[in-house]
C-alpha cells in the first residue's frame, strides 16, 4: 500500500489535512489488524493440520539397504563421503545427514 497515494486520494475527497491524516491513520491501523488476524488464522490452521497428523515439507528419503556397507567403507576411509553418496545415488549432504543420524542412533542404543 502506497501511503502517499492513499493520503492524496483521501485528501482529494475530504479537502482537510487533519481529517485526512486521521482517516489515513485509521486505514493503516485497520489494515494491520486485518493482517494480524489473517496471520493468526494461518498459524491456527497449520497447528490444527499438524495435530491431525499432516506433515509439511518434502518427504524424507528412505535410507537404502546398502547404506550400512557403504557407511562402513566410509568410516574406514576406503571411500570419501562424495563417492559414497554417488554410490547411493544421493547428494553428499544427504549421505552425511544419514551418517550423523546413524552415529546418533548407535550412541542411544
- Give the pLDDT score at 62: 92
Q: How many domains does the chain have?
A: 2
**Same structural domain, 9 and 44:** yes
Q: Does residue 56 lie in a domain region?
A: no
Q: Does residue 21 lie in a domain region?
A: yes
- Give the pLDDT score at 106: 62
Q: Does residue 17 lie in a domain region?
A: yes
What gap in Å lies between CA 29 and CA 53, rounded to an integer? 36
Q: Does residue 60 lie in a domain region?
A: no
7-18: b (≥16 Cβ within 10 Å) or e = beebbeeeeeee
- Give the pLDDT score at 73: 95
Q: Does residue 58 lie in a domain region?
A: no
What gap in Å lies between CA 35 and CA 92, rounded to an integer? 41
pLDDT along the chain (109 residues), means of 10: 78 81 88 96 96 91 94 95 96 95 67
**Same structural domain, 45 and 72:** no
**Same structural domain, 9 and 39:** yes
Q: Does residue 13 lie in a domain region?
A: yes
Range(s) of the domain holding residue 87: 67-107
- Give the pLDDT score at 1: 63
- Give the pLDDT score at 107: 52
**Same structural domain, 7 and 47:** yes
- Give the pLDDT score at 6: 78
- Give the pLDDT score at 105: 64
pTM beyond cutoff 0.95:
no
Amino acid at each position: 500500500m502506497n501511503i502517499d497515494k492513499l493520503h492524496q486520494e483521501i485528501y482529494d475527497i475530504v479537502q482537510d489535512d487533519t481529517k485526512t491524516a486521521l482517516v489515513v491513520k485509521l486505514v493503516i491501523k485497520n489494515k494491520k489488524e486485518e493482517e494480524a488476524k489473517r496471520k493468526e488464522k494461518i498459524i491456527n490452521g497449520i497447528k490444527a493440520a499438524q495435530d491431525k497428523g499432516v506433515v509439511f515439507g518434502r518427504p524424507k528419503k528412505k535410507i537404502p539397504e546398502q547404506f550400512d556397507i557403504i557407511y562402513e567403507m566410509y568410516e574406514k576411509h576406503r571411500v570419501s563421503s562424495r563417492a559414497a553418496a554417488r554410490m547411493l545415488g544421493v547428494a553428499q549432504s544427504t549421505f552425511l545427514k544419514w551418517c550423523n543420524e546413524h552415529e546418533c542412533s548407535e550412541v542411544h542404543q
